[in-house]
Structure 1
């Protein structure tokens, strides 16, 4: 009998997976306040989704207070946050799973109400993204024109990523994923639609890639390459992103990251529209397959996969593992469902962001368990009455 491509072992740097169904990072905005601290509800959420030899990647986690772009997102810069995340990693490890922390800075995708002292969000250049954002109260407001970071500030920014990575290891994480995707700060530096700088960090592709590579190199120096992954979203326009020569840009970055011998490179396919539930664009290019020509290490692909397309991608060698997002929200035991061909529960988009356990830890597993005993002991919060924009 032929083996299932999704359920064969895979080595990702320091971790040896027993299957290739990975939980993608998904912002859920449910940290405890004040302080954006992970708490018991979050530990239960990740515990439910852990599996023997499986990998979870956390929701994007703020490296500093300035990095925050959405209310309720957790951080990894205080002692309380480290302790909160330790409860999460302990719960995942108790089930035999692995967990990486995705560390980020949102850059211009923020609002002054979320920034320390009410300061403007920062970015490579003072270029305002199109559209609206949610402020600290959850109201939709126009984006503000961000403040361009001074070159002297960038070394401190690199240091902030390193501190967050070290805090992640102290909290028990198996590694970190540097968030260079989806129009957030590192991605803003990469693309010339948002980067208009004329110093060492702007202009040429090499200059625009400099900050991402400096962050990656510094985090590798702190943790070892075998515990570092990177996420990119090539040819993806989310958060008003664009570049005049994406082909050359992404080829260069993939080749440079290949030299770093990362645990993995995580590629967001451009075919998916994160803001809707429409089927993926069948005419969009296959970014992960394209990267295979430049990056020889393990490649994780994400973006609109179902069981059949995930198996086909791994079987054909187009990707080494598949990260699932929204299906993992409503199916805490998604790997088992995919393994045996069980039905996949539909998610409720209205409960994606903020609120209490509803739409978070109350989805049933195949065994019909929703851990009501655990839920009963958790502090109850008000459910969100607002549907936020999709936050990948």
Structure 2
């Protein structure tokens, strides 16, 4: 019999106990050993001072999820270069060594709680939410994005017309991701997640109506996924062995919830084969606020989660409306995914894994939590919503 002397040791056992719930079973991603299959989804909090430097408030925010028992934390989207990648005025960056160093205390605070942390690398492309702090936006083609900018992130009105990218622009983007991956490793992160989802630059290349190119970057799906695959491969090479490089993809977008890959299961198989060949350690499937079951289905009867697991042979993280414990258990029993990333449920319950392990009730999600409460104006309100009591 295992004898435990402290509440902390009891919690540690509970957080990796598959007998309590299959989500609490330990798992691995590449060289990473995780205490359970629960991840914090990347959520933009726009909480820097405007200089791209991670802050003490961000350290407290991410550490709260680690104290709450999550096996993996995926950070908010972080810009990779100083030219065109930034999306929001207060977005964090890792475009310089100094910005990378500012992340180190956050990584240490998360690691101290036994949780792994992956930095999400993001390039906005045409989805810039503000004007005036960087040059005009770029994209695969000179096509105005659908929808309007997001006011919570400083945006207003229609998106600007982006400049169609040149071969030099594309090479600079790839290099920017690779250099950011190297900086992330030096800052202590366990890996990076390439943000190829939700309508941002890499997804703009994959999306048919934003990519009207006729060169090797456009047309067939093999060409449209090429940039994401090259970014993954370059990041794998640059960061070196023993460092996780994952990739997040989606059909839906922040500015278009209706879009689906036109080739259904066939397109998905090609997308995932290219990402596997590029060396991705995992695939994270985003649902952009929608139910994962809804966005996973193709008109041809296929399922994006099934295709991703079958084609890549890599761990698959599912995201979107999966926080109901019985539904979550069924997903793992049926081997639909290897991990689940929680967003809204994690905001409402930074200690969600501990509550699951204890059989405790969960706090209800309040839509107001979607606003980036970690921002300066709302720091105290955010802090009160994410405060954790000591484990009992």
- The aligned residue for residue 97 of structure 2 is 79
- The aligned residue for residue 330 of structure 2 is 312
Aligned mates of 2:48, 2:336 — CA distance in 1: 36
1:28 pairs with 2:45: yes
TM-score (norm 1): 0.84
Report the 3-state secondary structure (helix = DSSP H, G, I; strand = E; otherwise coil) of the residue aligned with 1:67: coil
Aligned mates of 1:47, 1:257 — CA distance in 2: 31
Deviations 1:163-207 (A, max 9, x none): 111111111111000000111100110121210001111112221
Conservation of the 8 A alpha-carbon contact between 2:265 and 2:304:
no
Q: CA RMSD in A?
A: 2.5
- The aligned residue for residue 59 of structure 1 is 76
In terms of fraction of residues, the more helix-rich structure is: 2
2:318 pairs with one of 291, 301, 307: 301
Q: How does 1:282-301 map to 2 (within 5 A)?
A: 285=297, 286-301=303-318
Number of residue equivalences = 359
In structure 2, the CA distance between the partners of 1:319 and 1:139, relative to structure 1 (3 Å rule), is closer
In structure 2, the CA distance between the partners of 1:122 and 1:48, relative to structure 1 (3 Å rule), is same
Deviations 1:322-376 (A, max 9, x none): 110111112121111122222222344335223332453323566369xxxxxxx
Conservation of the 8 A alpha-carbon contact between 2:39 and 2:70:
no
The Cα of 1:7 is off from its aligned counterpart by: 1.1
The Cα of 1:136 is off from its aligned counterpart by: 11
Deviations 1:104-138 (A, max 9, x none): 1011111561542xx32110001111221148993
Report the 3-state secondary structure (helix = DSSP H, G, I; strand = E; otherwise coil) of the residue aligned with 1:6: helix
Conservation of the 8 A alpha-carbon contact between 1:114 and 1:136:
no
Aligned mates of 1:287, 1:137 — CA distance in 2: 30
- The aligned residue for residue 361 of structure 1 is 383
Aligned mates of 2:127, 2:106 — CA distance in 1: 27
In structure 2, the CA distance between the partners of 1:247 and 1:359, relative to structure 1 (3 Å rule), is farther
2:55 pairs with one of 31, 39, 43: 39
Q: Could you list the runs of 5+ residues in structure 2 that have no partner in the other structure?
A: 1-17, 298-302
1:194 pairs with 2:210: yes
1:17 pairs with one of 34, 37, 55: 34
Q: Could you list the runs of 5+ residues in structure 1 that have no partner in the other structure?
A: 274-278, 370-392
